[in-house]
Amino acid sequence: MNSSTPVITFHNIEKNFGSLKVLKGISGEINRGEVVAVIGSSGCGKSTLLRCFNRLEKIDSGHLTVNGINLSHPQFNQKQLRQLRTQVGMVFQQFNLFPHLTVLENLILAPCKVLGKTRKESTQQAGFYLEKVGLFDKASAYPQQLSGGQKQRVAIARSLCMNPQIMLFDEPTSALDPELVGEVLQVMQELATEGMTMVVVTHEMQFAREVAHRVIFMDKGIVAEQGPASEVISNPRSDRLRTFLSRLN
């Protein structure tokens, strides 16, 4: 489903790290139910943009609204931050599971602590999402007993347990052995089919082409090209995008 209700709008946002200008006035929007792939060379600002969306980074200027929460308002407060963090899930390249907790405990921690759900309710829900990512039988395992692909599927299930409206993925398959990439992409594809709003930083062009509705190509802190996935990937307009795509093959 791809209606055109924007859930993330960003206008002219800038982000600097000291004297390094990383986002140089980026604008765009992500619609409800839309899957957007963000591509571009290492260091062009993809992670920074994604991290601004859930306020792991604070923008220096511009306007940013995520799911109705105005992140550029000077009085943005802790209550809004908590709201934002429950509404926006994020999956990282390195999984970030708690190693000393079982899979189940990883999944129910935030629903219990942050959402105040009972252990019983959280456990039920965790079971549902573990089933969904095909890991129901791993509930009592510890992360170190899992493959990379399984860890990442657990990380996705953990995010889903917060019932997010938006899911951000930062190179979710980049740390995986090639043979484990497919199982993670498949879970993401299912989520997309169910209508989840997703922003996915990825180098998987086949995934971008087949699953993403739109592709944003970033280059040195700006949006250099964007459009329907098939068009942007099959018919790059700029030399930079052509070069970027040819290097991936």
Amino acid at 66: V
Residues that bind Mg ion (CB under 5 A): 47
User: Which region, judged by CB under 6 A, interacts with ligand ADP, from 40-48, 153-161, 190-198, 240-248?
Assistant: 40-48
Say if CB 46 and CB 222 are below 8 A apart: no
Taken in order 83, 89, 93, 94, is the CA torsion positive or negative?
positive
223 binds ligand ADP (CB under 6 A): no
Return the DSSP state at 170. Answer: E
Q: Cβ of residue 44: shortest distance to Mg ion, in angstroms?
A: 9
215 binds ligand ADP (CB under 6 A): no
Amino acid at 242: R
Which string of DSSP letters, residue by residue, matches 87-129? HEEEE-TT----TTS-HHHHHHHHHHHTT---HHHHHHHHHHH
Tokens found for residue 31 = 């619609």
d(CA 38, CA 46): 7
Q: Cβ of residue 73: shortest distance to Mg ion, in angstroms?
A: 27
Residue nearer to ligand ADP on the CB measure, 22 or 103:
22
55 binds ligand ADP (CB under 6 A): no
48 binds ligand ADP (CB under 6 A): yes
43 binds ligand ADP (CB under 6 A): yes
Among 13, 34, 37, 45, binds ligand ADP (CB under 6 A): 45
Among 19, 42, 144, 249, binds ligand ADP (CB under 6 A): 42
Parallel/antiparallel/unpaired status of strands 61-66 and 69-70: antiparallel
User: Which region, judged by CB under 6 A, interacts with ligand ADP, from 42-50, 72-80, 89-97, 107-115?
Assistant: 42-50
- Could you list the residues that contact ligand ADP (CB under 6 A)? 17, 20, 22, 40, 42-48
